[in-house]
Chains A and B, each alone.
Chain A
């Protein structure tokens, strides 16, 4: 069965998704009898449109020159395309705008309003307008999936179904690979914050402006999504008490170490409160992970503590989570029988 997909955003995640769709095409046809047909790829200044399906290999091969392809339409917008094309699922992968969530928020709203199922790797819309989007999806009988918004390919949201017989009581997590990398390097080498940040930037683990990461705002947004999704809370980003790691020095870490502790930038949801802050954890704690990994420890009523650890970022990683969401929707829609 053909399932028509609209991809919004051809950045690292969008391109990685195209790569995986190409690579796994035969696998999906063989295993699920499904063919994901990307009939539109939307960028800020136009779109690639082909109602019969875009040649994804051509898009990959031509790389940044994709605007030269004959089916590039300058200035085409998502809102115009939905009236022209048959789209079953839209995938929103544009960068997060932490203040407004735009343009991703409008894309998702438009999709749901037009009864199109939506998958998002863009977390801004979800932590800014979680309830609005969930209610809109329900109203329009649509699926809205966003596994890639928190810890990328680690199934931090999908685990809810696996734990359906349990009550999740609290969450303690490391949700930002940049700050974890910095603290890990400071701990391992005894270097100061500035040097560790520089190293992270050179390796591509930190942005040139790392504020959102090191001051905890990125983790705060992800924590809102986790708390609302796993604990059933109704929280907004303004409910999170946020403290960054930029004041942590090599001396702070030395003092922590002398008592058998390490310092980690934790995102915590417990007792109806959300907090992102540097915390002391014991060296043997399973949350003492190094590098740019993410981790999440859930406390449940029957199963006790459950820990997930994995890569929290990366194009292919996020794309694999998006693909999981596509399969999820396809199964429930009957595209896969």
Chain B
């Protein structure tokens, strides 16, 4: 999560001028705080939080800063928040026949939480496709998480697809 502290003029359309460079460069805006009570010289402090994908973060952030500068938006501060470690994975195979609750419990035993499960299958006997949104501990690396998932999937003959 990236948090920008900026100052924008208290005029119609200023907020759009702030949001455009962020969304045009792949930013997913999570929240905006306006501090009208701290207005000085017609400039209002604003905090905007957004997410950028890791693969494009460096390049996109550069572009965002440059485009904000072109729009005369002054950046006061940039902060990088501690993100919850989340990952989306897909499992394909006989996910339910191989006891999906057991899969979830095995993950839970290692402090890995399944936040969301979405499944698609046509017939009960056919293979199922399951999407899991997983939260995993700060101290666990992504590689460790994937190794844990892979161990479970290999035993159950499930195809694991990660990002």
A-side residues, CB < 8 A to B, are: 243, 247-249, 251-252, 254-256, 258-259, 261, 263, 271, 277-282, 284-285, 304-305
> Which residue of the partner chain, among B58, B93, B118, B143, contacts A247 with CB atoms under 8 Å?
B93
Closest 6 CB pairs of A and B: A251-B120, A280-B163, A251-B129, A255-B131, A247-B159, A252-B129
The tally of CB-CB contacts under 8 A between chains A and B is 63
User: Quick one: CB contact mask for B22-43 with A, threshold 8 Å, 1 for yes?
Assistant: 0000100000000000000000
Contact status B161-A278, CB under 8 Å: yes
> Which residue of the partner chain, among A261, A278, A281, contacts B159 with CB atoms under 8 Å?
A278
Determine whether B53 belongs to the interface, using a CB cutoff of 8 Å to chain A: yes
Known: A251-B121, A252-B129, A259-B131. A243 touches B159 (CB 8 A): yes
B99: min CB distance to chain A, Å? 19
Contact status A279-B161, CB under 8 Å: yes
B86: min CB distance to chain A, Å? 11
Q: CA–CA, A255 to B56, complex, Å?
A: 23
Further 17 A-B residue pairs, CB within 8 A, beyond A251-B129, A261-B163, A282-B163 = A243-B159, A247-B93, A249-B92, A251-B121, A251-B128, A252-B92, A252-B129, A255-B120, A255-B129, A259-B88, A271-B143, A278-B161, A279-B162, A280-B88, A281-B163, A282-B53, A304-B59
Q: CA–CA, A282 to B121, complex, Å?
A: 23
Q: What would be 14 A-B contacts, judged by CB atoms less than 8 Å apart?
A: A243-B159, A251-B129, A252-B90, A252-B92, A254-B120, A255-B129, A256-B90, A259-B88, A277-B161, A280-B89, A284-B26, A284-B56, A304-B58, A305-B55
Chain A residues closer than 8 Å to B55, beta-carbon distance: 282, 285, 305
A245: min CB distance to chain B, Å? 9
Contact status B161-A280, CB under 8 Å: yes
Determine whether B6 belongs to the interface, using a CB cutoff of 8 Å to chain A: no
B123: min CB distance to chain A, Å? 12
Give the interface residue-count category, chain B.
20 to 34
Chain A residues closer than 8 Å to B149, beta-carbon distance: none
B-side residues, CB < 8 A to A, are: 26, 53, 55-56, 58-59, 88-90, 92-93, 118, 120-122, 127-131, 143, 159, 161-163
Known: A252-B161, A278-B161, A280-B88. A258 touches B93 (CB 8 A): no
Q: CA–CA, A258 to B129, complex, Å?
A: 13
Chain A residue at minimum C-beta to C-beta distance from B87: A280
Q: CA–CA, A59 to B75, complex, Å?
A: 70
Scoring B26, B58, B88, B143 by chain A CB atoms within 10 A of each residue's CB, the highest score goes to B88
Q: CA–CA, A256 to B131, complex, Å?
A: 8
A242: min CB distance to chain B, Å? 12
A326: min CB distance to chain B, Å? 38
Q: CA–CA, A248 to B58, complex, Å?
A: 32
Chain B residue at minimum C-beta to C-beta distance from A256: B90
Q: CA–CA, A261 to B87, complex, Å?
A: 12
Chain B residues closer than 8 Å to A258, beta-carbon distance: 118, 131
